[in-house]
């Protein structure tokens, strides 16, 4: 009836967590990959580090989780996140990452984006956690935490 | 005018004035003696070269009261330090008398010492009350006289590089502006300073108020009372007699009512217990009391446990609310980051509507949509999160306040329970006690009431004392608010604005007379806060010819002196120029400058000029110009005969 009268209706828009937006996930992904050795990250590293940065936990809690191994009954265990996989698809499509045999690596566009993000004053909390972790998250550590083989 | 050939000693004479007055700091950070080797190392005269053992400078001048003063300072001496300046209250050079002498020190903060500071003495002679100004190190210092001298003296080597070019390095913030304001008699900075100080005092009173108000509330709550009528933040309207109410958290009974009630109970109990004959005991009543007290304990115990459960539940709700707020704030930060990333260059992959680079279908920036409804834009999301955070923060604050009252009530219940258990024990003891002895229950009640009465008297006294303090703070605040209200609405008064306008006119007039050609003199202005020649709001300096830069300095410094003839300023009435014909300024320009400078005599002002202009040229320029010429041939420094 409303349409017959020409009254426009638009569906209500719903709030979307930033963690589900490409504008947040893709930059986070390229930053993560840039912190892995030689700008290349395994799938396990991507899931483990993404989990750490989106869970908003401290370095001590993260190291504790990493060290305790994988327990499928633990509700707060580190798990494979489908959003990470979908984000990788979008980042690859945008030319920022490229798939490798065991994970992803940065393209030159991805490196350029990382450089721009460094001076933009964004992702402060996430960068602080990454800085405190350093390059300590080895591929084997990440695989063990997820309960997968590399 | 001091006229002589180059390298004959004119600048020695000019810089000796600076040195005698202790102003060498304006010439450079090393504060070296601004005199040549002839005064400090070796001197050549009549074919001989001799080492300098001692040399000194003498200067005679008048202060604002027209009384002569003579000063002397050693430039080189085997034992006497350069910091010493000796002053005589009289004309030692031109007079005969041996007037009273005093020693002072100069250089560094000591120059402004109350007793021995030479610059303090000099400021008093000139009639200057030197203000305190902010330094770049966030402390206040006097506006050192070296800063003011940059508007009174142009030194030959560095002084012509720009308006107020020479500045000492004493870290005074905005030194050029402060000096110009002071000499012109414009007190905008002092008014701003006064306003800052008043506001700072008001803020300190506000902090004291919050501390006292918090203490008052805490004192009342520790005795189970809530306070109303005491603002948590400064309220300068509070006066003596302001009504404050204390209500018990449970019964809403006023403090006065409870004190009156307790005092009566204590009086009656004391009368009964101290009576010569032991009071008659009613054993039936005592047994009844035992049953009642047991019931009271049971009721209070149940109420206390119920309250404890409520408090714990509410605490858990608050923790959950805290976690939700934390999550919302984290999401807000992430949304802000995503918005910032989009603003960096609006990359395709961050846009709300995108095209998949592989299959070219339309996709959005939402990676995993939840349901059919579209997602909000980033900006709308941020607005939504802010609204959520505001609403939940309000809930959190209200919940915290409610929990505070709940805790207060729990505290009171626990105390009442302790008292009730004590009364129950006393009632049990009473029933078991022989009839000839006063009942333990009655004694216990009397003790409890008496203790409570003492606590409430103390509370009353504490509240009264703290309220008196608040009334005093309010009174102080009213005084400061009145002082702030009395400050002028605009920083510069009408008279001060008039001075600035006229200074601009004087500068423009002179620039036209002196042949300023870099652009139209009419485009130059002088305005607050810079008080230096500017064009379109930018200080004039770059982009003009070097000779026009010199004309600008003539116009600016003479402008200050000329303004003092028609307005009340703090200019001392003297300006000094060492070699004003810099950068090959045209002789006609110099002639116009000298003619203008000569007008000072008619106003009891003085302009000192040292020049190496050839005699013939100088004579033409000074034709018809009132002047006093001191010329000399050869060297200024000669052996005495």
Structure ipTM: 0.86
Tokens read off for B200: 């700072």
CB-nearest to A23 from B356, B365, B385 is B365
B330 touches chain A (CB under 8 A): yes
B387 to chain A, closest Cα gap in Å: 12
pLDDT at A149 over 60: no
Q: Is A79 on the interface with B (CB under 8 A)?
A: no
Q: What is the CA radius of gyration of chain A?
A: 18
Sign of the Cα torsion B558, B560, B561, B563 reads: positive
Separation of alpha carbons B575 and B593, rounded Å: 13
Beta strands in B392-544 (DSSP E): 525-526, 533-535, 538-539
- Residue B205 pLDDT level (bands cut at 50, 70, 90): very high
Q: Which of A14, A20, A82 sits opposite B373 (nearest CB)?
A: A14
Tell me B568's DSSP state: -
From A91's Cα to the closest Cα of chain B, the distance in A is: 8
Q: How far, in Å, CA of B523 to CA of B502, rounded?
A: 15
Q: With contacts defined as CB-CB under 8 Å, which chain A residues touch B350?
A: 21-23, 26
Per-residue pLDDT at B560 exceeds 80 = yes
Which residues in chain A have their CB less than 8 angstroms from residue B339's CB? 23
Cα–Cα dist B554/B635, whole Å: 28
From the CB of residue B64, how many other CB atoms can be counted at a distance below 10 Å? 12
Closest residue to A18, CB basis, from B335, B348, B370: B335
Q: Which two tokens stand for residue A49?
A: 């580090």
Which whole number is the average pLDDT over B619-641? 78
Summarize pLDDT for B274-310 with one digit per residue, the tens: 776 666 677 788 888 889 899 999 999 999 999 999 9
Lowest average pLDDT, out of B31-45, B66-80, B214-228, goes to B31-45
Averaged pLDDT, B422-433: 84
Confidence of residue B633 (pLDDT cuts 50, 70, 90): confident
Chain A within 8 Å of B337 (Cβ-Cβ)? yes
Task: Sort out which chain B residues have CB atoms less than 8 A from A90's CB and list them.
Answer: 349, 367
Which whole-number Å values give the CA distances from A138 to A25, A44, A65, A104, in the listed order? Answer: 22, 10, 14, 15
* Cα atoms in the Cβ-side hemisphere of radius 13 Å centred on A116: 17
Whole-number pLDDT of residue B477: 95
Q: Is A4 on the interface with B (CB under 8 A)?
A: no
pLDDT of B159 strictly over 60: yes
Predicted confidence at residue B493, as pLDDT, reads 81
Q: Is residue B16's pLDDT more than 70?
A: yes
pLDDT at residue number B544: 83
Q: Which of B547, B322, B287, B273 is nearest to B431 (CA)?
A: B287
Count the helices and strands in chain B (H runs, E runs). 14, 20
Q: Which residue of A has its CA nearest to B346?
A: A23
* Interchain pair A21, B366: CB under 8 A: yes
So what's the pLDDT on residue B494? 84
Query: What kind and span of H or E run contains B258?
Result: helix B255-273
Q: State residue B600's pLDDT score.
A: 92
Q: Which helix (H) or strand (E) element contains residue B287?
A: helix B283-345
Look at residues B171, B116, B183, B163 and name the one whose alpha carbon lies nearest to residue B142. B171
**pLDDT tens, B253-263?**
888 888 999 99
Residue B42 pLDDT greater than 70, yes or no: yes
For residue range B77-126, list pLDDT tens digits in order.
988 888 889 998 888 888 866 778 888 888 766 677 777 789 999 999 99
Percent of chain B with pLDDT over 70: 95
Q: Token pair 């915290």 is at which residue?
A: B400
Taking CB atoms and an 8 Å limit, are A122 and B341 in contact across chains?
Answer: yes
Mean pLDDT of chain B: 86
Q: What are phi and psi of B85, to 5 degrees?
A: -125, 130
The token pair at A24 is: 């947040």
Question: What pLDDT band is residue A135 in, cutting at 50, 70 and 90?
Answer: low
Burial label for B216, CB within 10 Å (0-12, 13-18, 19+), is buried
Say which of B367, B370, B378 has its CB closest to residue A25. B367
> Residue A104's beta-bridge partner residues?
A41, A99
Q: Which band of pLDDT confidence, cut at 50, 70 and 90, is reported for residue B206?
A: very high
Once rounded to an integer, what is the mean pLDDT over residues B378-384? 90
Q: φ and ψ at B569, to 5 degrees?
A: -130, -175
Q: Tell me if the bond preceding B172 is cis, omega within 30° of 0.
A: no
B324 touches chain A (CB under 8 A): no
Provide the pLDDT for residue B208. 94
Q: Does B361 touch chain A (CB under 8 A)?
A: no
The verdict on B329 touching A (C-beta cutoff 8 Å) is: no
CA distance A54 to A33: 15
Going by their DSSP bridges, the two strands A103-106 and A40-42 should be labelled as antiparallel
Contact B204, B228 (CB under 8 A): no
Question: At a CB cut-off of 8 Å and minimum separation 6, what does B544 contact?
Answer: B518, B519, B552
- C-alpha distances (whole Å) from A136 to each of A60, A149, B312 are 13, 19, 41
Distance from CA of A122 to the nearest CA of B (A): 5
B373 → chain A, closest CA residue: A13
In this predicted structure, which of B153-157, B365-369, B551-555 has the lowest mean pLDDT?
B365-369
More confident residue, B603 or B492: B603
Examine the pLDDT at A22 and tell me if it is beyond 60. Answer: yes
Helix (H, G, I), strand (E, B) or coil at B3: strand
Return the minimum-mean-pLDDT range out of A17-26, B94-103, B127-136.
B94-103
- Determine the pLDDT at residue B607: 94
Question: Can you say whether residue A12 is alpha, beta or left, with left for phi > 0 and alpha for psi between -120 and 50 degrees?
Answer: beta
Does residue B75 contact residue B33 with C-beta atoms inside 8 Å? yes
Q: Is B389 on the interface with A (CB under 8 A)?
A: no
Q: Report yes or no: A92 at the B interface, CB cutoff 8 Å.
A: no
With CB atoms and an 8 Å threshold, state whether A120 touches B340.
Answer: yes
Residue A9 near chain B (CB below 8 Å): no
Place of tokens 């004391």: B270
Query: Which of B323, B334, B344 to mutate against chain A (most A CBs within 10 Å)?
Result: B334
Write the pLDDT tens digit of every residue in A40-67. Answer: 888 888 888 888 888 877 777 777 776 6
CB contact under 8 A, B375 and A14: yes
Q: Would an 8 Å CB–CB cutoff place A18 in contact with chain B?
A: yes
Find all residues with CB under 8 Å of B238, minimum gap 6, and list them: B231, B470, B471, B474
Rounded Cα gap, residues B382 and A18, in angstroms: 10
Residue found under tokens 């709940």: B406
B376 touches chain A (CB under 8 A): yes
**Chain A / chain B CB contacts < 8 angstroms:** 106
pLDDT confidence of A1, banded at 50, 70, 90? very low
Per-residue pLDDT, A3: 47
- Of the ranges A70-79, B543-552, B582-591, which one carries the lowest mean pLDDT score? A70-79
Confidence (pLDDT) at B626: 84
Cβ-Cβ contacts under 8 Å, A24 against chain B: 334-335, 337-338, 341
pLDDT at B6 over 90: no
């Amino acid at each position: 009836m409303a349409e017959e009268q020409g009254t426009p209706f638009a569906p209500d828009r719903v709030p979307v967590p930033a963690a589900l937006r490409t504008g947040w996930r893709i930059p986070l992904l390229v930053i993560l990959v840039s912190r892995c050795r030689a700008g290349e990250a395994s799938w396990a590293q991507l899931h483990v580090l993404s989990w750490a940065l989106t869970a908003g936990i401290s370095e001590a809690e993260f190291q504790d989780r990493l060290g305790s191994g994988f327990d499928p009954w633990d509700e707060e265990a580190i798990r494979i996140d489908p959003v990470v996989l979908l984000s990788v698809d979008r980042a690859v499509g945008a030319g920022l990452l490229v798939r490798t045999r065991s994970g992803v690596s940065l393209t030159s566009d991805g490196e350029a984006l990382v450089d721009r993000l460094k001076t933009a004053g964004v992702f402060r909390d996430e960068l602080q956690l990454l800085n405190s972790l350093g390059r300590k998250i080895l591929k084997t550590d990440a695989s063990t935490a997820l309960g997968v083989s590399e | 005018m001091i006229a002589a050939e180059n390298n004959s000693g004119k600048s020695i004479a000019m810089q000796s004035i600076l040195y005698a007055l202790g102003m060498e700091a304006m010439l450079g950070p090393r504060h070296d003696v601004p005199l040549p080797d002839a005064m400090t190392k070796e001197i050549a005269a009549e074919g001989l070269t001799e080492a300098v053992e001692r040399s000194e400078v003498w200067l005679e001048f008048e202060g604002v009261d027209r009384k002569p003063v003579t000063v002397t300072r050693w430039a080189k001496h085997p034992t006497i330090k350069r910091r010493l300046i000796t002053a005589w209250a009289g004309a030692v050079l031109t007079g005969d008398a041996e007037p009273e002498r005093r020693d002072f020190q100069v250089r560094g903060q000591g120059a402004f010492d109350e007793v021995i500071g030479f610059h303090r003495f000099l400021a008093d002679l000139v009639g200057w009350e030197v203000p305190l100004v902010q330094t770049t190190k966030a402390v206040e210092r006097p506006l050192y006289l070296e800063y003011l001298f940059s508007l009174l003296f142009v030194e030959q080597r560095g002084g012509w590089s720009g308006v107020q070019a020479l500045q000492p390095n004493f870290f005074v913030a905005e030194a050029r502006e402060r000096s110009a304001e002071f000499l012109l008699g414009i007190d905008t900075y002092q008014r701003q300073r006064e306003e800052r100080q008043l506001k700072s005092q008001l803020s300190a009173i506000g902090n004291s108020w919050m501390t006292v108000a918090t203490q008052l509330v805490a004192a009342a709550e520790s005795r189970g009372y809530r306070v109303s009528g005491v603002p948590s933040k400064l309220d300068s309207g509070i006066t003596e007699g302001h009504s404050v109410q204390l209500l018990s958290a449970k019964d809403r009974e006023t403090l006065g009512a409870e004190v009156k009630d307790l005092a009566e109970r204590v009086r009656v109990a004391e009368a009964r217990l101290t009576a010569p004959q032991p009071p008659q005991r009613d054993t039936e009543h005592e047994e009844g009391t035992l049953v009642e007290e047991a019931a009271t304990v049971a009721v209070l115990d149940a109420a206390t446990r119920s309250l404890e459960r409520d408090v714990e539940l509410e605490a858990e709700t608050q923790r959950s609310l805290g976690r939700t707020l934390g999550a919302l704030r984290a999401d807000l930060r992430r949304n802000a980051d995503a918005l910032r990333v989009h603003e960096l260059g609006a990359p395709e992959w961050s846009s709300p509507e995108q095209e998949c680079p592989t299959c070219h279908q339309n996709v959005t920036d939402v990676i995993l949509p939840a349901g059919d409804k579209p997602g909000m834009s980033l900006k709308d999301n941020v607005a939504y999160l802010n609204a959520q955070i505001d609403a939940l923060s309000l809930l959190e604050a209200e919940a915290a306040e409610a929990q505070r009252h709940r805790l207060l009530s729990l505290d009171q219940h626990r105390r009442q329970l302790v008292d009730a258990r004590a009364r129950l024990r006393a009632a049990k003891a009473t029933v078991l006690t022989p009839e000839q002895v006063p009942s333990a229950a009655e004694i216990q009640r009397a003790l409890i009431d008496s203790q409570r009465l003492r606590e409430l008297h103390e509370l009353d006294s504490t509240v009264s004392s703290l309220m008196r303090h608040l009334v005093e703070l309010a009174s102080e605040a009213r005084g400061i608010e009145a002082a702030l209200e009395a400050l002028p609405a605009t920083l510069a008064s009408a008279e001060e604005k008039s001075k600035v306008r006229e200074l601009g006119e004087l500068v423009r007039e002179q620039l036209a007379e002196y042949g300023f050609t870099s652009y139209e003199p009419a485009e130059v202005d002088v305005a607050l806060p810079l008080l230096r020649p500017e064009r379109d709001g930018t200080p004039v300096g770059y982009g003009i010819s070097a000779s026009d830069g010199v004309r600008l300095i003539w116009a600016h410094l003479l402008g200050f002196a000329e303004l003092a003839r028609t307005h009340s300023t703090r200019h001392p009435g003297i300006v000094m120029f060492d070699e004003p014909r810099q950068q090959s300024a045209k002789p006609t320009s110099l002639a116009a400058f000298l003619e203008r400078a000569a007008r000072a005599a008619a106003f009891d002002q003085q302009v000192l000029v040292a020049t190496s202009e050839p005699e013939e040229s100088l004579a033409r320029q000074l034709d018809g110009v009132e002047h006093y010429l001191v010329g000399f041939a050869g060297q200024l420094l000669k052996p005495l005969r």
